[in-house]
Amino acid sequence: MDAVIRPVAHLVDGSLYVFRAWHSMPDEFHDVDGEPVNAVHGFTRFLCELLERTRAEHVAVAFDASLTTSFRNAIYPAYKANRDLPPPALVRQFEWCRRVAESLGLVVMNDHEYEADDLIGSAHFSLRAHGFRSVIVSADKDFGQLLGEHDEQWDFAKNIRWGAAGVFERIGVHPHQVADYLALCGDAVDNIPGVPGIGAKTAAALLAHFGDLDSLLDRIDEVPYLRLRGAAACAARLKEHAELARLYRRLTRIALDVAVASHAQALRRQAGDLAGIEALCQQLRFGPLTRARLRDLAVT
């Protein structure tokens, strides 16, 4: 058991919870200008509950600035091309959600070249060097690749937490294999096809034997001799699509070198902006309970 008490950084996948609020909250919420703000109301309730439950001292909320300008789109134009762009009403609400988070003294991370995953991964990697452990607040399986011995991922909606060992229990590979696994079997959510004919079980079995994608591709000639259904056909597909598999791994691997959290206190929560909160409450027509929660959180 680790005897060192490590400071905790809560890294929040903000875009995920904005989208969840957009889909789950009724469309009856409007601001003083008559514009829809259902996602803002849902996201604000989520954020309040998160802060009330954790009283976290180091927090960052990361957002995706765009679905089309990531560095991944530059190297693979089909990346996320299966997703519809957010409607203008939701784009507008993202900005309000960022402002709510900032008003509570939270660090907001947003970049047009890097996705929220990359911003979270880079903050996590940087803070680890300062002795932090991370709690990544998201249900996204991609984050499994970031989890070290002391880290956790937290599916807030289901209130389920898991560490590095839980990644294997959930998808059958270890954290350091997650990007390779997704490169092999694909990720439909992000429009990454993977190697044709290689599904999740086969990808996990291959990585269990070879350890990583590079070793697998270097030793393809061994694949036909594995106790694996369709092993010969699998080897042929890997030979044919080896370079694509390497490309897909560039898409599935979370970047760790974005310039965020450059020092130990980079994500320390600051005092909230009470005047800003009052203005937001008026504009967004928050109810008395949400207003009281925001005011309380701004000074604690």
CATH no. for residue 189?
A: 1.10.150.20
Region 73-80 average pLDDT: 95
In terms of residue numbers, what domain contains 262? 8-171+255-298
- When the pLDDT of each residue in the chain is averaged and rounded to a whole number, the result is 95
* DSSP state letter for 217: H
Give the percent of the chain with pLDDT over 90: 93
Residue 78 has phi, psi (to 5 degrees) of -80, -5
For residues 248 and 261, membership in a common domain is answered with: no
130: exposed, middle or buried (C-beta count within 10 Å: 0-12, 13-18, 19+)? middle
Distance CA 22, CA 79 (A): 23
Rounded Cα distance, 117 and 101, in Å:
18
Is 3 within the bounds of a domain?
Answer: no
Q: What is the share, in percent, of the chain residues with pLDDT greater than 70?
A: 99
89 falls within a domain:
yes
Q: What is the mean pLDDT of residues 38-42?
A: 98
Domain-embedded: residue 154: yes
Q: Do 41 and 132 have their domain in common?
A: yes
pLDDT in tens, 182-207: 999 999 999 999 999 999 999 999 99
Q: Do both 70 and 136 map to the same domain?
A: yes
Distant-in-sequence, close-in-space partners of 274: CB < 8 Å, separation ≥ 6: 295, 298, 299
> Taking 80 as the threshold, does the pLDDT of residue 4 lie above it?
no
11: closest CA among 115, 98, 119? 119
pLDDT (tens digit per residue) in 133-152: 999 999 999 999 999 999 99
State residue 232's pLDDT score.
Answer: 95
160-162, strands of its sheet edge to edge: 107-111, 59-64, 8-13, 133-137, 152-155, 160-162
Q: Which two tokens stand for residue 179?
A: 């990007």
How many distinct structural domains can be found in the chain? 2
Same domain, 88 and 26: yes
Strand-strand pairing, 107-111 and 160-162: unpaired
pTM for the full predicted model: 0.95
